[in-house]
């Protein structure tokens, strides 16, 4: 089974109450691919960077089974750059700067070997680019998930709604669900959004976990209570990477399996926030992930005589 990942590969500048990380590695596709690489070694990235992006970082991704044939490197241009600052409670953040750079006129070209993926993760980036990728697929994948953010809702809502019509799973946070649906209640928001096209909706609520909605079903997965959240950047993308990596490795898209995938995604996200940038995600192994999954199971496991 193969997983096609589209998204930014970027530089970030991150301020948290714990410090300031300048020009560190970030980007939605980077986090997604790193998280998914613990579940599948058949990952193809479509993205673009400038010639300022370190080759060592690309080599590290290749070593993890990530194919970069669809990553364009633009000579003389700069990679996508995002700067953000987190509030003291670490839940809220302000975007201080978004420089599209190479992303501004990015035309994704899928190599032949990318055109029949089993699973597709359309990570956060220009909706028109997400659409262009779908247009190049030769067969309908088993599952298409899309992640996006308020930035694109503010400037490209119509294009975004067109892509949303063609996907199976949408992952957004609670504020974005409200913006997209025009409803404050998340249950009502889910009803509206599920009519826009996707079969499933995942609403991420940061330290308060994630909700999975289907037409007749709702599932809730908590976030792991952590003593210290160091840097929440990329948690949403890491969640998506764990979620899609697990689904790709199990090849099963029932609601029951999506529930498990949501918990795997939450487990990966709980690692991501423990250090700045992608640092923590790079040093995991299967035993650490298993141990973390056990913590999730114990967190919600209880006996009730009903």
Residue 31 CB, nearest distance to ligand AMP (Å)?
6
Residue 278 CB, nearest distance to ligand AMP (Å)?
9
Kindly state whether residue 90 participates in binding ligand AMP, applying the rule CB under 6 A. no
Closer Cβ to ligand AMP, 42 or 147, answer by number? 147
C-beta of residue 5 within 8 angstroms of C-beta of residue 29: yes
Render 90-135 in DSSP notation, one character per residue: SS-EEEEEEE-GGGTT------GGGSS-SEEEE-SS-HHHHHHHHH
Kindly state whether residue 8 participates in binding ligand AMP, applying the rule CB under 6 A. yes
Closer Cβ to ligand AMP, 28 or 110, answer by number? 28
Residue 202 CB, nearest distance to ligand AMP (Å)?
13
Name the nearest CA neighbour of 12 among 284, 279, 282: 279
Q: Would you put residue 234 in left (φ > 0), alpha (ψ -120 to 50) or beta?
A: left
Question: Which of 3, 5, 6, 10 is the binder for ligand AMP (CB under 6 A)?
Answer: 10
Positive or negative CA dihedral for 88, 273, 143, 294?
negative
| Position of minimal CB gap to ligand AMP | 26
Kindly state whether residue 5 participates in binding ligand AMP, applying the rule CB under 6 A. no
**In this structure, what are the phi and psi dihedrals at residue 37, rounded to the nearest 5 degrees?**
-65, -15
Question: Which of 18, 151, 220, 255 is the binder for ligand AMP (CB under 6 A)?
Answer: 151
Kindly list the residues in this chain that would bind ligand AMP in the complex (CB under 6 A).
8, 10, 12, 26-28, 82, 98, 124-125, 149, 151, 233-237
């Amino acid at each position: 089974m193969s997983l096609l990942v589209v998204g930014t590969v970027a530089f970030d500048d991150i301020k948290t109450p714990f410090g300031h990380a300048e020009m560190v590695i970030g980007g939605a596709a980077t986090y997604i691919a790193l998280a998914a690489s613990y579940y599948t070694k058949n990952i193809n990235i479509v993205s673009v960077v400038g010639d300022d992006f370190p080759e060592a970082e690309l080599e590290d991704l290749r070593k993890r089974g990530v194919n970069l044939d669809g990553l364009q490197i633009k000579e003389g241009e700069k990679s996508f750059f995002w700067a953000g600052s987190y509030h003291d409670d670490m839940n809220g953040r302000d975007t201080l700067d978004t420089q599209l750079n190479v992303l501004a006129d990015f035309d994704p070209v899928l190599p032949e070997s990318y055109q029949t993926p089993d699973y597709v993760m359309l990570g956060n980036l220009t909706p028109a680019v997400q659409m262009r990728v779908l247009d190049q697929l030769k067969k309908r994948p088993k599952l298409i998930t899309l992640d996006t953010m308020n930035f694109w809702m503010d400037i490209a809502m119509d294009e975004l709604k067109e892509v949303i019509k063609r996907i199976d799973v949408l992952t957004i946070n609670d504020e974005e669900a409200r913006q997209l649906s025009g409803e404050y209640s998340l249950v009502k928001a889910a009803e509206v959004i599920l009519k826009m096209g996707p079969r499933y909706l995942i609403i991420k609520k940061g330290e308060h976990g994630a909700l999975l909605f289907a037409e007749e079903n709702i599932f809730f997965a908590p976030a792991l209570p952590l003593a210290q959240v160091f840097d929440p950047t990329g948690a949403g993308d890491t969640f998506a990477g764990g979620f899609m990596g697990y689904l790709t490795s199990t090849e099963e898209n029932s609601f029951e399996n999506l529930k498990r995938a949501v918990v795997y995604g939450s487990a990966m996200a709980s690692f991501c926030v423990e250090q700045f940038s992608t640092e923590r995600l790079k040093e995991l192994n299967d035993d650490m992930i298993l141990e973390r999954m056990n913590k999730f199971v114990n967190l919600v496991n209880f006996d009730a005589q009903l």
